[in-house]
Amino acid sequence: MNLGPLMVDLRGAALEPEERELLGHPLVGGVILFARNYESPELLQRLVTAIHALRTPALLVAVDQEGGRVQRFRDGFTRLPPARVLGHRLDRDRAAGLALARQLGWLMASELRAAGVDLSFAPCVDLDYGFSQVIGDRALHRRAAAVGDLAVAWMFGMREAGMAAVAKHFPGHGAVAADSHVALPVDRREWADLESDLLPYRRLLANGLPAVMAAHVVYQAVDSLPASLSPRWLRDCLRGELGFQGAVFADDLSMAGAAACGDVVARAALALAAGCDMLPVCNDRAAVQALLATLPATAADPVSALRLARLHGRPMPGREELLAGPRWQECAAAAARCFEADPLQFEG
């Protein structure tokens, strides 16, 4: 059975009987986990193992574990600083900033891989224009070149830990004030002004970026549809101009930024037609059921399934072996030092 295009969520820290049936549907290809699904590293590994055992190829298991405000698993995992810390470090010492980015990318990914989690939706490569509160300190830097350099280092760290990077939010969420969780942001800049936002993606693609997540943001000069639902952005720009061959995730289709484009079935149809390979639908089981009842079997595209299958995490040491190793100890200490200078500056 191929991986389908839907990524769904779960209610708790263990699979319920009806969820086992849900995850067996051919249109489902992945599971996204949240803080409610986490109690301890041991129970997390048990949950992920149960999910992976349901199908062949195994469903992808993903989480948002960027660091700072966006870290779903906390107790039992190393506390990660917000990405802005890396930009500050780069400004003081370029080599040290890049080294820290690689360390934190490896640390984040290795701890998740020890529990069996395939993907973290990271790095966030939105530029820090100072407009977006939902991005805020999740941004690596204001300068596009700095974001590109740090994101590549972070991606290399993830790769060394056996995890594929998923850069977000293509082509950039940093220049709009509205939060796409609760509204449809509109970026009114001209096309030429968007080139800075694309630069980090160009750098990442040149170094083998495996996946991106597209933003629920309208770029008025390019298309009236959000980038996540736009063939002009995903087929013409991302795959055409930029030559991207990896997997494309839409941002969560339950968010208000997507809801402006119709009901969930209409949103999903637009996203698939635009070129998305996987569609997360979170915190709305009724919407998932509507999609399973409505989307045609052809929505499970074999080419998309192949792109997604390449995102499975590589085998890595278990948790006990990981925590005993010198690299984990070095990287965990580097993460801890990020909080020592001024702990009050950190959100979350």
- Which CATH number fits the domain that encloses residue 161? 3.20.20.300
Q: Is residue 187 annotated as part of the catalytic site, yes or no?
A: no
Cα dihedral: 55, 169, 248, 181 (round 10): 60
Q: Does residue 315 form part of some domain? A: yes
Q: Does residue 326 form part of some domain? A: yes
Q: Does residue 37 form part of some domain? A: no
> Which of 91, 181, 193, 263 does the annotation list as catalytic?
181
SS3 track for 251-269: CCCCCHHHHCCCCHHHHHH
Residue 345: pLDDT band by 50, 70, 90 thresholds? low
Cα dihedral: 182, 186, 191, 197 (round 10): -30
Residue 130 backbone class (left: φ over 0; alpha: ψ -120 to 50; beta: rest): left
- In angstroms, the first-to-last Cα distance of the chain is 40
Q: What is the pLDDT of residues 22-48, one digit of tens each?
A: 999 999 999 999 999 999 999 999 999
Please compute, for residue 30, the number of CA atoms within 13 A of its CA located in the half-sphere on the CB side: 31
> Which of 251, 252, 277, 312 does the annotation list as catalytic?
251
From the CA atom positions of the chain, what is the Rg in Å?
A: 19
The neighbour count for residue 343, using CB atoms within 10 Å, is: 8
pLDDT at 344 over 60: no
Overall number of domains in the chain: 1
Q: What is the pLDDT of residues 41-90, one digit of tens each?
A: 999 999 999 999 999 999 999 999 999 999 999 999 999 999 999 999 99
Q: Does residue 258 form part of some domain? A: yes
Q: Does residue 6 form part of some domain? A: no
pTM value is 0.95
pLDDT at 347 over 80: no
pLDDT at 342 over 80: no
Lowest mean pLDDT among 10-19, 194-203, 232-241, 333-342: 333-342
Residue 346: pLDDT band by 50, 70, 90 thresholds? low
Question: To the nearest whole percent, how much of the chain has pLDDT over 90?
Answer: 88
Q: Does residue 250 form part of some domain? A: yes
Q: What is the pLDDT of residues 244-276, one digit of tens each?
A: 999 999 999 988 767 778 899 999 999 999 999
Specify the pLDDT at position 340: 87
Q: Which domain holds residue 136?
A: 60-340
276/1: higher pLDDT: 276
Q: Does residue 286 form part of some domain? A: yes
Q: Is residue 181 annotated as part of the catalytic site, yes or no?
A: yes
Question: To the nearest whole percent, how much of the chain has pLDDT over 70?
Answer: 97
Lowest mean pLDDT among 148-152, 207-211, 255-259, 300-304: 255-259
Specify the pLDDT at position 229: 96
Specify the pLDDT at position 348: 44
Across 277-292, average pLDDT: 96
Across 287-300, average pLDDT: 90
Q: Does residue 237 form part of some domain? A: yes
